[in-house]
Amino acid sequence: MSTPFIAQEIKGIISAGSKGQAAMPVVVAVPKELAPGEQRVASVPDVVQKLTKSGYEIRIEHDAGTSAYYPDDLFTAAGAKIAYNRAELLDSARIVLRVQPPTVTDVDQLAEGTIVIGFMNPTNNLDAIARMRDRKITAFALEFVPRITRAQSMDALSSQATAAGYVAAILGADNCPKFLPMLTTAAGTIRPATVLILGAGVAGLMAIATAKRLGAIVEAYDVRRAAGEQVRSLGARFLELEINAEAHGGYARELTPEEKAMEQQMVSAAVARADIVITTAAIPGRKAPLLITKETVMMMRPGAVIVDLAAESGGNCELTQAGKTVREYGVTLIGPQNLPARVPFHSSQMYAKNLLSFLALLVDNNGVLVKEFTDEILAASLLVHAGEVRHGPTRDLLSAGKP
Ligand code: NAD
């Protein structure tokens, strides 16, 4: 996947003014992520260097990259200025790059017209979104970047799901009392472990690839039949059911009650023979589908592990507890939150490159910030602008009586 290098596309200084005006570098701020457990940072030195060469002025909050193993001095060497006062950093910014959504406190530091780019998780951040609306902040939500070919390099959902899938397989292996590969040793032959992946989207495919590399026998299932080809190309076995639930945009639709019963039966049999089960099944905007009931967990092998990536949206397993690891009926159930933060070095690197590509949409050929967000990708991801919430479902939630 190639990321467009902004410096090749933009000649001259990136400026906030229109053509002919004195060029004022656009100040891009990268605050430290303060959400509990968040280790990532929204930019990394390589990307800062490219942005600086393109004419942006990059200001990074002191220690913003430390927990992702990008210390301040690497940012300084890449051309960034280190900011020691968060309020001043936010107040001085034209563009703010973030991983997690802004808090109300941070929004209150921003000047009118500031552009904030990051994950916005609107359902859980209505207060901050209302405040951005009222303070006339412009917010782009990376989760709404459309999954079209042109947007692949800025698809942060995919880059972070890749990280999550990798960590899920490692977590599963770490909690499994068995070896994953087949071993032939003087002390006897070890059979390979069986890993089952439910949901073969971006995270699921990465979990399959990682479990295969660790030497396990891998099986996978997805309601989208198109996923079968990708699963098989990774050397895993695809479990077939006479259902194709692919809906608009490549996402899955909800199954009918009869389809759900058929799915349950087939999935239960596969879960019962697995040593590690990684579940990633999600339906955008809805509670995660229940794929593993308590009865199925009771059928599993002692020591088996379930890593439920859908824990934050209700869980694919009935016994999952979000944010906790519990043991039930001899099975370890892991309900992880924010897995990309466990590989912060690379998840930050990928995220920063996503943002680099996204930023290229915000300037015209003269290096001037665009005023109209008519580009399909900008229009789709524009959450708040000029005192209005532009995303219909979020607007409905807000007018349903919340803030
Ligand atoms: P997701 O996180 O929304 O869901 C994960 C997986 O769970 C999906 O593959 C889904 O089909 C599956 N699933 C849902 N209900 C299920 C059930 N009951 N049983 C089993 N599996 C179930 O998915 P994602 O990783 O965001 O990817 C969604 C789609 O978008 C995929 O088709 C993917 O290939 C596509 N995609 C396209 C692009 C692009 O073209 N730029 C980029 C990324 C993803």
Strands 331-334 and 325-328: antiparallel
Helices (H), 54-95: 72-77, 86-92
Determine the residue type at 158: S
Which residue is listed with tokens 């789709």? 380
Give tens-digit pLDDT for 197-233: 999 999 999 999 999 999 999 999 998 888 999 999 9
Amino acid in position 381:
S
8-state DSSP, 176 = -
Report whether pLDDT(3) > 90. Answer: no
251 lines ligand 1 (CB under 6 A): yes
Query: Which residue, among 114, 109, 66, 69, has the nearest Cα to 85 in the 3D structure?
Result: 109
- Tens digits of per-residue pLDDT, 342-393? 999 999 999 999 999 999 999 988 888 998 999 999 999 999 999 999 999 9
Residue having the nearest C-alpha atom to atom 1 of ligand 1: 282
CB-based contact 305:175 (threshold 8 Å): yes
Residue 342 is predicted with a pLDDT of 98
- Our answer on whether the CB atom of 221 is closer than 6 Å to any ligand 1 atom is yes
The secondary structure element, H or E, covering residue 118 is strand 115-118
CA of 202, closest atom in ligand 1: 25
Adjacent-strand bridge partners of 28: 58, 95
| b/e map 18-41, b = 16+ CB within 10 Å | eeeeebebbbbbbbbbeeeebbbb
* pLDDT for 21: 52
Mean pLDDT calculated for residue range 165-194: 98
pLDDT value, residue 15: 65
Residue nearest (by alpha carbon) to ligand 1 atom 27? 201
Each residue of 35-78: pLDDT tens digit? 999 999 999 999 999 999 999 999 999 999 999 999 999 999 99
Spatial neighbors of 13 by CB under 8 A, at least 6 apart, are 23, 25, 55, 367
Q: What is the DSSP string of 63-74?
A: TTTGGGT--HHH
Is residue 147 within 6 Å of ligand 1 at its C-beta?
A: yes
Question: For residue 311, what are its two tokens?
Answer: 């824990």
What is the 241 CA–ligand 1 centroid distance (Å)? 17
278-301: average pLDDT:
90
Mean pLDDT computed over 115-143: 97
Q: How confident is the model at residue 13 (pLDDT cuts 50, 70, 90)?
A: low
CB 227 within 8 A of CB 200: yes
What tokens were used for 399? 């007018």
Q: How far apart are CA 118 and CA 140, in angstroms?
A: 7
Rounded (5°) CA angle 206-212-216: 130
Q: Give the closest residue to 200 by CA, choosing from 151, 165, 163.
A: 165
Confidence of residue 1 (pLDDT cuts 50, 70, 90): very low
Query: From atom 36 of ligand 1, which residue's Cα is the shortest distance away?
Result: 147
Check residue 124 and give left, alpha or beta (phi > 0: left; psi -120 to 50: alpha): alpha
Q: What's the token pair of residue 305?
A: 């592990």
Q: What is the mean pLDDT of the chain?
A: 92
